């Protein structure tokens, strides 16, 4: 996580997760509020959102929050979420015959960074969600050259998902920190999953502790 309040400017944090429905958007809201509280001007970017019927629900809620925290972040939803697809599926499927221009995604990131000090970027799905043929969400993270916050579930089976995602990030030499989102099976988490985490890791971080 970005810790130095005396940084120059224009750092980015990519919010990813072990899978879909783990809490990326919630995590984005947590980091936006935390960095604002710490004295940073925040921005938000979600390059791709699927399952969009009228407006991108996740992107719109985060843009409204960002504008309330940083009035200088004066952009519209189509600028913040440039690729919007109706089908709730992996981008490679949801895009159908449309193109996804990776260089455009990088260019848009640089444009948004000019409006803030810390840009929160929210991914779609998990790390191995395909965007293009042989190009996955984890590859986009690498191209964007950002730090990563990996959001992990508290539910049964989360240990496997967490370790696999961490291994993938390590194999690509991507700098990351990971946070457990206590939301599913949280009543049984301390008995089912926490004992392994305590023995295996030196430090355990909970997303809720950032609030």
**Are the C-beta atoms of residues 156 and 188 closer than 8 Å to each other?**
yes
* Total domain count, the chain: 1
pTM of the model: 0.94
Helix axes 102-113, 137-144, angle to 10 degrees: 50
**Domain assignment of residue 196, yes or no:** no
Can you give the CATH number for the domain in which 175 is found? 3.40.50.300
Tokens 């009035």 belong to which residue?
71
Whether residue 134 is annotated as binding a ligand: the answer is: no
**Domain assignment of residue 117, yes or no:** yes
Whether residue 22 is annotated as binding a ligand: the answer is: yes
Q: Which long-range contacts (CB under 8 A, 24 or more apart) does 62-65 make?
A: 62/25, 62/28, 62/29, 62/32, 62/120, 62/122, 65/29, 65/32, 65/33
**Domain assignment of residue 190, yes or no:** no
Whether residue 157 is annotated as binding a ligand: the answer is: no
Q: Tell me which residue of 102, 52, 107, 103 sits closest to 79, measured CA to CA.
A: 107
**Domain assignment of residue 193, yes or no:** no
Known active-site residue 147: no
Radius of gyration over every alpha carbon of the chain, rounded to an integer in angstroms:
17
**Domain assignment of residue 206, yes or no:** no
**Domain assignment of residue 208, yes or no:** no
What are the pLDDT tens digits along the chain (211 aa)? 444 444 334 699 999 999 999 999 999 999 999 999 999 999 999 999 999 999 999 999 999 999 999 999 999 999 999 999 999 999 999 999 999 999 999 999 999 999 999 999 999 999 999 999 999 999 999 999 999 999 999 999 999 999 999 999 999 999 999 999 999 999 999 999 999 999 999 899 999 999 9
**Domain assignment of residue 199, yes or no:** no
Whether residue 17 is annotated as binding a ligand: the answer is: no
Catalytic residue among 3, 5, 41, 46: 46
**Domain assignment of residue 6, yes or no:** no
- For residue 134, the enclosing domain spans 11-185
**Alpha helices, DSSP H, located in 70-157:** 77-80, 91-94, 102-113, 137-144
């Amino acid at each position: 996580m970005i810790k130095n309040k005396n940084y120059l400017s224009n750092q980015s944090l990519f919010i990813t997760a072990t899978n879909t429905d783990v809490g990326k958007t919630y995590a984005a809201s947590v980091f936006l509020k935390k960095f604002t509280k710490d004295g940073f001007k925040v921005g938000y970017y979600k390059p791709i959102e699927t399952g969009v019927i009228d407006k991108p629900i996740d992107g719109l809620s985060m843009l409204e929050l960002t504008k309330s925290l940083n009035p200088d972040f004066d952009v519209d939803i189509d600028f913040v979420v440039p690729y919007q697809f109706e089908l709730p599926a992996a981008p490679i499927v949801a895009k159908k015959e449309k193109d996804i221009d990776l260089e455009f995604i990088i260019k848009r990131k640089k444009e948004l960074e000019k409006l803030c000090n810390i840009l929160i970027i929210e991914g779609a799905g998990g790390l191995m969600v395909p965007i293009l043929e042989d190009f996955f969400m984890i590859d986009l993270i690498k191209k964007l050259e950002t730090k990563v916050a990996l959001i992990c579930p508290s539910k049964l089976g989360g240990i496997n998902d967490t370790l696999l995602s961490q291994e993938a990030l390590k194999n690509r030499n991507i700098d990351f920190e990971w946070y457990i989102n206590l939301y599913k099976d949280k009543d049984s988490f301390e008995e089912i999953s926490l004992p392994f985490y305590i023995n295996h890791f030196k430090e355990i971080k909970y997303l809720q502790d950032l609030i």
